[in-house]
Structure 1
Amino acid sequence: MIESLDPTARRRYALIAPSRDEAGTMRRTLDSLLAQTAPPAHLVFVDDGSTDDTQGILAEYTPRMPYLRIVRRSDRGVRKVGPGVVEAFNAGLAGIDLSTVEFLCKLDMDVALPPRYFETLMDRMDADRAIATCSGKPFFPDPRTGALISEHIADQFSVGMTKFYRVSAWRLIGGFPTSIGWDGIDCHLCRMHGLKAVSFPDPDLAFVHLRPMGSSHLSLWHGRMRHGLGAWVMGTPPLFMLAATVYRMNKRPRVLGAVAMLCGYLKAWAGGVKRFDAPGYLAFVRAYQLRALVVGRGRSAEHMRLRQRRPAPPFGHPTIERADHAGG
């Protein structure tokens, strides 16, 4: 299912870290990278126009990280999520020879990872060659008690803050889509190619997300509105969105967060926001999500994946070459 690999690239991985004004959290992320039992072959830090002390912190860590390279982008004046993150990722990727690594990861600078995080992900992907992308589960600290709270990520999606990929699979789907909701769309694209996307509910892979998922640099309301917009763009049908909104009421703030998500979705629908589309994509997502309402996400994802499964083209096939070019 996955093409042959240059033996010298085996179990080597590259991290691409787009970041803007994350001086408050990036030390904890960098410290957790230094503690990894399997260090990266490359860490490309993309400074996407930071105006805080990002560069000063990087100067502190550079002597301790021989694999670190810094790419600086000009300040566009605003924080641009979604497409902006993918654009910054692609800017960092431009200097990486993907033939030298087996795995590729988009990493956020607001996470604290356990020491065996990347080693364990590679072990899991070695054990199941159908896995295209995977991650652990994120938890965020309760601001009142400090207790870690689950972000309730479905097992059928790898999370955007540590989006770990088999390079051959990333090429096959054409790289990350430059779109709001890119970190859900890519998982659907994997299933469309008969591959798996997964986040493991394993305590050894649990990590701390220092800024709760669904929040934003503006407000929690803004972040949840954006989540609803992303659901619309990635093709979520209304019935599934309603069920997802009810489910999200088990996550604080229960009512406010759920209402914000639904408002973001309805606003995008009413405003005629363009949805991501590729041949067969929207029909695939609709079938998967409506089936999930009946049999559950896990069984639906596996059914849809197996229905789509076909042999992947061999290394050097024109499909892969085109995808690699499109991805950066």
Structure 2
Amino acid sequence: MQQQDKIYVAGHRGMVGSAIIRRLQRDGYNNIVTRTSKELDLRSQPAVSAFFAEEKPDYVFLAAAKVGGIVANNTYRADFIYENMMIQSNVIHHAYANDVKKLMFLGSSCIYPKMAPQPLKEEYLLTGLLEPTNEPYAIAKIAGVKMCDAYRAQYGCNFISVMPTNLYGPNDNYDLKNSHVLPALLRKFHEAKENHTPEVVIWGTGSPLREFLHADDMADACFHLMLNYDEEGLVNIGKGEDISIKDLALLIKDIVGYEGALTFDETKPDGTPRKLMDVAKINSLGWKAKIELSEGIKAVYDEVKSGKWNK
């Protein structure tokens, strides 16, 4: 991938896509093609076909997806499987049809079986049942991985797949109805502090363990792999460390400066007990995460606390 190559970042307004663009620009890659969802509906095969035929990108980062937390995944099950299948199928196929040199498909750690051994190794894919609450989304993402491998096997396409762990960072989703746990907690504690609310209620028992990676670390890993990895299968992107939801809540409570009580609503679902990525593969390829969790959360909170809750 050379600086003059045309690079299409699908999903450039999201947390992942925007972080990838920042990372590309940092190293002088400025020939970047983007489209908003209003300008290009990636669910539409004719629209995607026309876009690729016109733009002819050399490289593609497929970061566009319909995403959300437990509530959104469990409520809009049909939307999550349909929209993600359509987006990735259209982009992957038309990347092949227009001779894209390399494509990176971004999945999610939820593709692994619910009760898979920890930490999650790449070879655990399809070895057990999925977490029921986000099964439709996970199946779509698994299909994306297998589609990249199939196009590699049949057509020789250099299409690779990466599986980021739970992400946070600039341009995150802070809508309390469909956001992920870390941004949701940030907003909950901030609003409780502002409104002098006596307690903050957290879903579940607080016992599940989760791994969190700053979006800028994730983008750095994607950039590294785009330059250095050309194999089938998938590569985990993570920090290799996890934290309980309770300890995460206490950390965010401290960063925000909220002094009220913390209560856990054990009638609400916990989701998967633990999701920790095995990062031996990506570490062996020469990349390791750099941003510490407390440092990353403080930076994100400093950005949004003045009212920049973008969703």
**Fold in common (TM above 0.5):** no
Q: TM-score range by the shorter chain?
A: under 0.3
TM normalised by structure 1 equals: 0.27
TM normalised by structure 2 equals: 0.28
